[in-house]
Structure 1
Amino acid sequence: MHNKVKRYYHLKQKHKEIEQELSDLRTEITTYCEEQGVTDLEIGSHRVKIVFQDRKEYDDNKLYEVLADPSLWRMLSKPDSSKISSLIKLNVISGEKIKDTYSVKTITLLHVDKK
């Protein structure tokens, strides 16, 4: 068991290092594409594609003000975009009612595929 615990710890450390390197490379690649003014690029045998996506970030206090019904609030427990979207689709709440409870944040997604 000692070896398994030791291996697990080693892999978790390696995982952190890999995540950090991926983050650094992602930043470098997206910065390069931004400087070049491109969102689609072929480099060697790889294709790089930058995709912009908007995500709603809800303000807890504003959302609670318009959804003060405890049963609705319990269903949400914490603002979760997919749960809120589902409640709107099911007509449990209206999109109009919560329109001032969130801000839209544009995020950048990076896709790298092999040709």
Structure 2
Amino acid sequence: MDIKLERYYQLKQLQKKIEQELSELRTEITKYCEQEGVSEAEIGSYKVKIVFQDRKEFDEQKLYEALPDLELWRMLSKPDHGKISGLLKLNVITEEKIKDTFMVKTVPVLQVFKI
């Protein structure tokens, strides 16, 4: 078991390094596309595409006020998009009830394809 724990730890450390490098590269590529004024480009044997997604950013206080049932609030504990989506899908809460508790933020999502 010691070997498995050691390998798990090593992989988690490697994952952190990879995620950090991916984040840095994503930022550089996105900035390049912004500077060039393009959302799609073919560069060498790669195609880069930036698509925009809307993400909800919840206001914790407004969400708390919209969900007065303490049991619901305990289930969330913090505004977690996945948990809130789950409660909406299960019809535990309605979109109408939380409509004023978040802002929609458009964020760029980087896609890179080998052509």
TM bucket normalised to smaller: 0.7 to 0.9
Secondary structure of residue in 1 paired with 2:94:
coil
Q: Amino acid of the residue matched to residue 43 of structure 1?
A: I
Alignment of 1:35-74 (within 5 A): 35-74=35-74
TM-score, with length taken from structure 2: 0.78
- Structure 1 segments, 4+ long, off by >6 Å, are 4-13
Note closer, same or farther for the CA distance 1:112–1:65 as it changes in structure 2 (3 Å cut).
Answer: same
Match in the other structure for 1:94: 94
Output aligned runs, 1:1-115, within 5 Å. Answer: 16-115=16-115
Gaps of at least 5 residues in structure 1 are none
Gaps of 5+ in 2: none
CA RMSD, Structure 1 to Structure 2 (Å): 2.6
What number of residue pairs does the alignment pair up? Answer: 115
1:63, distance to aligned residue in structure 2 (A): 0.6
Q: Could you say if the C-alpha distance between residues 41 and 84 of structure 1 is closer, same or farther in structure 2, counting changes exceeding 3 Å?
A: same
Q: Secondary structure at the match of 1:22?
A: helix
Q: Note the C-alpha offset of 1:81.
A: 1.2
Amino acid at match of 2:70: P
Q: CA 1:17–1:99 in structure 2 vs 1: closer, same or farther (change >3 Å)?
A: same
